[in-house]
Chains A and B, each alone.
Chain A
């Protein structure tokens, strides 16, 4: 069948010419990079950046988006062997792949908390070990995403004085911003892995400085949230006249609701857990649920809001699992305990009926 096709193709002059050209190209390319690969790489990179990324950013299914990251990244980034590394798209893909690994780590973490609640120590240990390994893998992916984001904009996070990168489009700004956030997350994952991944901890102060390169209001308070989180981690980095970091986090969360992207809220929840502020955590989760009614999600970046929602839900699930042994029941999302508000409800007299 195939041979007959070839014979058929060979008969048409135009096709014959093409075949000849292909052979010539293949011979000329020899052992070096195949020019078709190079062209394909450039086309794919441009397509990813111009079409695929905006499409993915509008998705409302973080799990599917993360699978895309895991599946496509090795293919797309392999073109870095034949052409310039597609760093900006590569950073987003690796970020998504990192999320996938983190979702697995979350499940292991919940399994650990559940077993711990039940007093089943071997099961708890097993799940905790699993969570550590998955956190280490997440941290590694996230470090790669951070490095690619920095490389994409030729930004040296260690340079002093700070030289902000040129960010031409809105997508560039967001990619860079998410890169910084991902770097911070890598540190958290590494710590939760028992420092298995060896992530450089100076990413935190570097991200703090780089976050000043972005418009805080435009990005829903996310740049300032990153800074406030670092101020809490490393009080030394806090500028003299800066407001209280907790106030900044709270304010950023509100800004996030205004622009329709609640990533700042996720950061506030992480800060509350990290620094042992159950009051702030309860407020943040409640505010998140409350915002559902009034938020107009930023359509172009819907995915960011959905990923943030996942983080908040996991915070809530951790609290519920540690305290009650199961994840947050749907109707209790926004609450921190299974107490129902059913005591002071007015009731009718049944005397007439009895």
Chain B
């Protein structure tokens, strides 16, 4: 009798744990477990607990190592920027296509679209599944001289470029700037000590990496998003069943306001006079230049790497033309 009730008690104690599925996740955040992103993933994990998944998070300050450990089977899922998760899903990995989402409103439309159950098949590729996409802020061009505000001015300038980001390297070459191979840990130093003239980064870097030093008296931040950086949560396809995976994406989409709040705070921390506003007519030129580049990188033409997924470029174009129907690209013969 006693033994029986003891067993029952033990079972009762274990039951709430046993019902949750445990999934380990390698989480990238430049400042580890005390970083903003890691904290956001903690919120995601808590929400997912209500759906029966118990995420066990492990912080990584090196994105390459986080993805490497995921590849090596050390964790069932990974949270990292789309620059690194692109190999797992080329479709969602093309969200950060150069110049493809000029506003956060467009980004919102895109992420809402992708969170729908209808989009589920697109979230699976090569045995991997996307469990959520959260914005990490637009990448901006930081320059040490405000006169570098058109693509033409970039010619001959030295630009810190992430060495694994093929599309960025192609863009830098396209504008005839000089690629200075860098990684996340050293690009800021190069910009601040003047060994490069320009660098691109989300607004977060302005304060944390002291990029205002590199900007100095004469430089600034070009107020046009080069790309929309996102954090993507990727798992092996068999980790969650389809229904739970869909729930996970909806939970991640539900975190959009929280993420945007963080991003707008970071952007607001940049003093107004440091932004370099570019005239509307130049913007149109920029947009067309980016578009031509995207097409090249979709088709692998002109020595471009074929990194962008045609379906994603098509969707992004649809979103841009919905918010700005008069843009010339919307009637172009080679529309994305």
Using a CB–CB distance below 8 Å, which chain A residues touch chain B? 116, 118-119, 121, 124-125, 128, 160, 187-188, 191-192, 194-195, 198, 200-202, 204-205, 232-236, 270, 273-276
A234 to B184, CA, bound (A): 10
Given contacts A118-B16, A233-B61, A273-B34, 10 further A-B contacts (CB under 8 A): A116-B46, A119-B16, A119-B19, A119-B49, A191-B34, A202-B207, A233-B32, A270-B34, A273-B33, A275-B61
- B186 contacts A194, C-beta separation under 8 Å: no
Partner of A276 from the list B50, B58, B185, B204 (CB cut-off 8 Å) is B58
A195 to B267, CA, bound (A): 13
Using a CB–CB distance below 8 Å, which chain B residues touch chain A? 16-17, 19-20, 30-36, 38-40, 42-43, 46-47, 49-50, 58-61, 185-186, 188-189, 204, 207-210, 213, 258, 261-262, 265-266, 269
A232 to B60, CA, bound (A): 11
Identify whether the interface residues of A are mostly helix, strand, loop, or mixed: helix
The 3 closest A-B pairs by CB, nearest first: A119-B16, A201-B208, A235-B185
A148 to B42, CA, bound (A): 33
- A202 contacts B46, C-beta separation under 8 Å: no
> Do A198 and B269 form a contact, CB below 8 Å, given A188-B34, A192-B39, A275-B33?
yes
Q: Which residues of B contact A128 (CB under 8 A)?
A: 42-43, 46
Shortest C-beta distance, B46 to chain A (Å), equals 6
Q: Which residues of A contact B20 (CB under 8 A)?
A: 119
A273 to B115, CA, bound (A): 33
Partner of B209 from the list A192, A198, A234, A270 (CB cut-off 8 Å) is A234
Q: What are 12 A-B contacts with C-beta separation under 8 Å?
A: A187-B34, A191-B34, A191-B38, A192-B39, A194-B36, A200-B207, A200-B269, A233-B32, A270-B34, A274-B33, A275-B59, A276-B33
Q: Which residues of A contact B47 (CB under 8 A)?
A: 121
Q: Which residues of B contact A233 (CB under 8 A)?
A: 30-32, 61
Q: Which residues of B contact A119 (CB under 8 A)?
A: 16-17, 19-20, 49
A128 to B49, CA, bound (A): 14
> Do A121 and B46 form a contact, CB below 8 Å, given A191-B36, A191-B39, A275-B33?
yes
A195 to B208, CA, bound (A): 13
A273 to B258, CA, bound (A): 24
Shortest C-beta distance, A222 to chain B (Å), equals 19
Q: Which of A128, A202, A273 gathers the greatest number of chain B CB atoms within 10 Å?
A: A202
In the complex formed, the residue of A with least CB distance to B18 is A119
Q: Which residues of A contact B207 (CB under 8 A)?
A: 200-202
A97 to B262, CA, bound (A): 27
- A121 contacts B31, C-beta separation under 8 Å: no
Shortest C-beta distance, B182 to chain A (Å), equals 11
A276 to B288, CA, bound (A): 44
Shortest C-beta distance, B320 to chain A (Å), equals 30
A9 to B61, CA, bound (A): 74
In the complex formed, the residue of A with least CB distance to B31 is A233
In the complex formed, the residue of B with least CB distance to A112 is B46
- A232 contacts B61, C-beta separation under 8 Å: yes
Q: Which residues of B contact A274 (CB under 8 A)?
A: 31-34, 59
Q: Which residues of A contact B189 (CB under 8 A)?
A: 236
- A194 contacts B39, C-beta separation under 8 Å: yes
A234 to B188, CA, bound (A): 10
- A236 contacts B185, C-beta separation under 8 Å: yes
> Do A236 and B49 form a contact, CB below 8 Å, given A191-B31, A198-B265, A275-B32?
no
- A202 contacts B210, C-beta separation under 8 Å: yes
A243 to B39, CA, bound (A): 30
In the complex formed, the residue of A with least CB distance to B26 is A276
A188 to B35, CA, bound (A): 8
- A194 contacts B31, C-beta separation under 8 Å: no
A200 to B266, CA, bound (A): 10
Q: Which residues of B contact A234 (CB under 8 A)?
A: 188, 208-209
Q: Which residues of A contact B210 (CB under 8 A)?
A: 202, 205
In the complex formed, the residue of B with least CB distance to A278 is B58
Q: Which residues of A contact B185 (CB under 8 A)?
A: 235-236
A188 to B34, CA, bound (A): 6
In the complex formed, the residue of B with least CB distance to A270 is B34
Shortest C-beta distance, A201 to chain B (Å), equals 4
- A236 contacts B188, C-beta separation under 8 Å: yes
- A195 contacts B36, C-beta separation under 8 Å: yes
A205 to B185, CA, bound (A): 14
A191 to B32, CA, bound (A): 10
In the complex formed, the residue of B with least CB distance to A205 is B210
A177 to B159, CA, bound (A): 38
Shortest C-beta distance, A272 to chain B (Å), equals 10
> Do A194 and B33 form a contact, CB below 8 Å, given A116-B49, A202-B207?
no
Shortest C-beta distance, A33 to chain B (Å), equals 35
Q: Which residues of A contact B31 (CB under 8 A)?
A: 191, 233, 274
In the complex formed, the residue of A with least CB distance to B37 is A191
In the complex formed, the residue of B with least CB distance to A236 is B189
In the complex formed, the residue of B with least CB distance to A135 is B39
Partner of A194 from the list B61, B258, B266 (CB cut-off 8 Å) is B258
> Do A195 and B33 form a contact, CB below 8 Å, given A116-B46, A236-B185?
no
Q: Which residues of B contact A116 (CB under 8 A)?
A: 46, 49
A17 to B63, CA, bound (A): 78
In the complex formed, the residue of A with least CB distance to B211 is A202
In the complex formed, the residue of A with least CB distance to B35 is A191
Partner of A235 from the list B39, B50, B186, B262 (CB cut-off 8 Å) is B186
Q: Which residues of A contact B30 (CB under 8 A)?
A: 233
Shortest C-beta distance, B48 to chain A (Å), equals 9
A204 to B15, CA, bound (A): 44
Shortest C-beta distance, B329 to chain A (Å), equals 36
A128 to B258, CA, bound (A): 15
Partner of B32 from the list A124, A201, A276 (CB cut-off 8 Å) is A276
Q: Which residues of B contact A236 (CB under 8 A)?
A: 185-186, 188-189, 209
